[in-house]
Amino acid sequence: MFIRNLLRTKGKELQLDQVIRITSGNAQNNHNLHWNHGRRTIRRMANPSEQIEELNLKIKNQGDQVRSLKSSPAEQRDPSQLAQAIEILKNLKVELERLKGTHKDEEPNQTKQPKTKTAAQNQLTKFQLKVPKGTKDHHPKEMLIREKIFSTITKIFKLHGAVTIDTPVFELKEILSGKYGEDSKLIYDLQDQGGELCSLRYDLTVPFARFLAMNSKEYPSIKRYHIAKVYRRDQPAMTKGRMREFYQCDFDIAGATDPMIADAEVLTIACEVLEALQVGPFTIKLNHRKLLDGIFDLCGVPEDKFRAISSAVDKLDKMSWTDVRKEMTEEKHLDPLIADRIGEYVKLKGSEDLLAQLLEDHNLIANKTAKEGLEEMKLLMSYMNVFGIMPRISFDLSLARGLDYYTGVIYEAVVEGSTPPTQAGTTNPTATDESTTKVSKSKSKAKINDSNEAAEVDESQIGVGSIAAGGR
């Protein structure tokens, strides 16, 4: 009877890892019952008072563990571990009630009577209505502002001849895999969908590359924009506008164009959008992935570590050089001398004067990849002078970006006085995936991320989000 009722504790059957075994005792037919749940064991002893004393001690220790787990920081808390600890505590209390005679055995067909829950039980089973972590609801007033912003952006995109498309919110997992470098771990994977492994889209760039690969004959060249939600399993940072669900506004130019023409146009579009949104004074930080890779090669970085070191360099806007160097040498296992050589370059910033200085660096010019990047930057700056946006540009060698499909111009737009500073984007050329490079010789894109704040944050103090573009 005891074993049967224990198996039916609270109407739930024990899991496979909850093993029950009975071992025979002495000649007086004493029995020891062991209920193993992970590493914790409840032993039914011959003396009821001893059993109650032992259970009270276990309940106290288990309660301390539950309170400790609940008081730990949210980002460090393991929900499954907390739920398991609470379940163990409940079972310990049920066993204590049974020993005290307050927990009545029920026959299999006996009608269950309603039970009055204690305050502690109510607290444990209380359900709180809330949105998932990293998301938020948007009220009518907020939606009016969003619609105005999207309308302003869309108008500028259309003035530059773009048409819109739409793609599924989830893609085959193999299409998204390997495109985002270290950020691939942030992709939301879905359960098996009838034999297909799928993931929520991380951005709108890779789905567009897949779209081009499937429709290359119909769209040999296209200017396209797309405004839609994307999903990232990132650790939300409300004060920085980092959410798990947010909007991106993409502008892409796919097809054959003269070198750097498409890049110059999307940079111009970025300036037009920021000016139309009246975000205040802003600067666009500019760099070239070829130049950065050339610097890494010149300094002695192994090619298989280019992306990892690039990801570390990209943190220079948030971390000191000392901390970035420490990450390179201790976490990425880069030779300290190589890290010091990289530091001599990535600390440089300026405008056309910095470009002229680098063009006179004979060691840098001797590197084929770096030379190509510098020549393209020189051509791009000549176009930006024609378009009148060069005063907005800051040539910054610390700008890196971590995504693997960036191979050309990269940039960030930084709004002065934004709290926290505006997150920015990148210039990204044609994706390096084989299916994409067969479709288009040149692709340029501009992207605006609308990463919305939680309710407790003053959204009026948050910048426009991020902007990205690229091409070759």
- Mapped onto helix, strand or coil, the DSSP state of residue 39 is coil
- Mapped onto helix, strand or coil, the DSSP state of residue 31 is strand
pLDDT in tens, 450-459: 444 333 334 4
Top CATH class, 134-256: alpha beta
Cβ pair 451, 463 in contact under 8 A = no
Alpha helices (runs of H) in 300-391, residue ranges in sequence order: 306-313, 321-326, 336-346, 352-359, 362-365, 368-387
> Which candidate, 22, 56, 54, 58, places its Cα nearest to that of 40?
58
CA distance 291 to 355: 11
Top CATH class, 261-420+465-471: alpha beta
**Total number of residues shown for the chain:** 472
CA distance 472 to 458: 39
Q: Where are the domains of the chain?
A: 134-256, 261-420+465-471
pLDDT per residue, tens digit, the chain (472 aa), is 444 444 444 444 444 344 333 333 443 444 444 444 444 444 444 467 778 888 888 888 888 888 888 777 776 778 888 888 888 988 888 888 888 775 444 444 455 555 566 665 666 567 889 999 889 899 999 999 999 999 999 999 999 999 999 999 999 998 888 767 666 788 899 987 788 899 999 999 999 999 999 999 999 999 999 999 999 998 887 677 789 999 999 999 999 889 999 999 999 999 999 999 999 999 999 999 999 999 999 999 999 899 889 889 988 888 899 999 999 999 999 999 999 999 999 999 999 999 999 999 999 999 999 999 999 999 999 999 999 999 999 999 999 876 667 788 998 899 886 644 434 334 343 333 333 333 333 455 565 554 443 333 344 444 445 565 554 4
Distance (Å) of CA 402 to CA 180, 260, 306, 307, 408: 7, 22, 10, 7, 13
pLDDT in tens, 303-356: 989 988 988 998 888 889 999 999 999 999 999 999 999 999 999 999 999 999
b/e for 69-89, b at 16 or more Cβ within 10 A?
beeeeeeeeeeeebeebbebb
- For residue 5 the two structure tokens come to 């009722």
> Which candidate, 417, 161, 160, 162, places its Cα nearest to that of 268?
160
Q: Do domains 134-256 and 261-420+465-471 have the same CATH topology?
A: yes
HSE of 19 in the Cβ direction (CA atoms, 13 Å)? 8
> Which candidate, 157, 151, 150, places its Cα nearest to that of 445?
157
Distance (Å) of CA 134 to CA 128, 319, 417, 421: 16, 24, 25, 19
Backbone Cα Rg of the chain: 30
